[in-house]
Amino acid sequence: MSKYLKATTAALVLMLAAHPALAEKFGLGREALPEEIAAWDLDVSPDGTGLPPGSGSVMDGEDLFIVQCAACHGDFAEGLGNWPPLAGGEGTLGDARPLKTAGSYWPHLSTLWDYINRSMPYGNAQSLAPDEVYAITAYILYSNFLVEDDFVLTRENFLEVEMPNADGFIEDDRLETEAHFWNTEPCMEDCKENVEITMRALVLDVTPVDEQEEAIMGEAPAVEAAEVVMTAAPDPALVAAGESAFRACQACHQVGDTAKNHVGPILNGIVGHPAAAIDGFGYSGAIRTAAEDGLVWTEENLAAFLKEPGKFIRGNRMTFAGVRKEEDINAIIAYLSTFQN
């Protein structure tokens, strides 16, 4: 049976289930049984209606996420290639190219849970048990700094999770406020004297950066110049910890003798190095502007950037939300300092 025929048949079954009188009129099928309707009725409402019993911890969610989700969304929900990041974006909704995630945009936790439950993982939708969906949802919340690492999400505490943009939406009142527009005759010709293109669409990771894009994105804030600081050899234990913590960065950045520019530039020699100075990598306009203003990747500047990339250089294309723990930041910098150009 073709995909089109399957979809058409499914739609017909749903229509007849919702309108049994039609089934009787057309002589097709029978009234759907309650258990059959329940099998289709999977959606979860903002008030928690539709949630099944279950629970899942952040720690269990991390293991599940790596197996089920990381191939597309990265180990830390940072996104890979054109697959979207699921973490970060805080404070970007007013930008020309906002990053919309559970941590920045979605007002209801049910949106995240419901989508994972019905549509993920890609190519194997609805294969996750409720406890697994709770756990993966908890891990994504953790990746957005919304819960702690010991958090356990359940049906009972589901509505206690506060979404950052819960007040960012308004009720759709167009039926009352705009109905008068719909009662007029539509204009079918010569509706506007002059038609001109005033803007163009920008596609993340596809459209090359040019002067027009930079004009739309606006100027990045100036960053004070910093002196190159040469540090003593780092503690070997700290370097070892940094190698482990650097796994959060490996989806986009490479280091070592065989390193190549990837989604992000190679990071050999980055500590104490001027910004935007790696040959062959296409930096964003925001990074280039910061470099022109004298930005040098001192340990202090690197620490600030690793903690909050989007805040330190507004408009840069790095989608990673940031490193949560200060000790991990220090360890990553120590690890990076062992690689030279």
Q: pLDDT by residue (tens digit) across 260-285?
A: 887 789 999 999 999 998 888 888 88
Q: What is the dihedral of CA 231, 235, 238, 239, to 10 degrees?
A: 70
* Spatial CA neighbour of 137 closest among 106, 101, 113: 113
Q: Which segment of 131-140, 141-150, 180-189, 208-217 scores lowest on mean pLDDT?
A: 208-217
DSSP letter string, 154-170: ETTTGGGSPPTTTTS--
Helix orientation angle between 299-307 and 326-336, rounded to the nearest 10 degrees: 130
Write down the pLDDT at residue 9.
53
Cα–Cα distance for residue pair 167/285, rounded to 1 Å: 32
Write down the pLDDT at residue 82.
76
Residue 309 has pLDDT above 70, yes or no: yes
pTM, whole model, 2 decimals? 0.50
What whole-number percentage of the chain has pLDDT above 70? 82
Mean pLDDT (the chain, rounded): 82
Write down the pLDDT at residue 149.
92
Q: pLDDT by residue (tens digit) across 54-92?
A: 999 999 999 999 999 988 898 889 888 778 999 999 989
Write down the pLDDT at residue 204.
44
Is there a contact between 104 and 47 (Cβ–Cβ < 8 Å)?
no
CATH of domain 55-160: 1.10.760.10
Q: Where are the domains positioned within the chain?
A: 3-40, 55-160, 220-336
Question: How sure is the predictor about 222, in pLDDT bands with cuts at 50, 70 and 90?
Answer: very low
Question: How sure is the predictor about 209, in pLDDT bands with cuts at 50, 70 and 90?
Answer: very low
**CATH number, domain 220-336, options 2.40.50.140, 1.10.760.10, 3.30.565.10, 3.40.50.2300:** 1.10.760.10
Question: How sure is the predictor about 32, in pLDDT bands with cuts at 50, 70 and 90?
Answer: confident
Do the two domains 55-160 and 220-336 of this chain adopt the same fold? yes
Is there a contact between 265 and 337 (Cβ–Cβ < 8 Å)?
no
DSSP letter string, 261-281: --SS---TT-TTPBTT--TT-
- How far the first Cα of the chain sits from its last, in Å, is 58
Across 316-336, b (16+ Cβ under 10 Å) vs e yields: bbbbbbbbeeeebbbbbbbbb
Q: Which segment of 175-179, 185-189, 212-216, 229-233 scores lowest on mean pLDDT?
A: 212-216
Write down the pLDDT at residue 4.
47
Write down the pLDDT at residue 230.
42
Cα–Cα distance for residue pair 75/97, rounded to 1 Å: 24
Structure-block tokens of residue 49? 């209606």
DSSP letter string, 26-71: HT-S-PPPHHHHHHH-----TT-TTPPS-EEEHHHHHHHHHHHTHH
CB atoms within 10 A of CB 242: 23
Write down the pLDDT at residue 37.
83
Cα–Cα distance for residue pair 124/184, rounded to 1 Å: 47
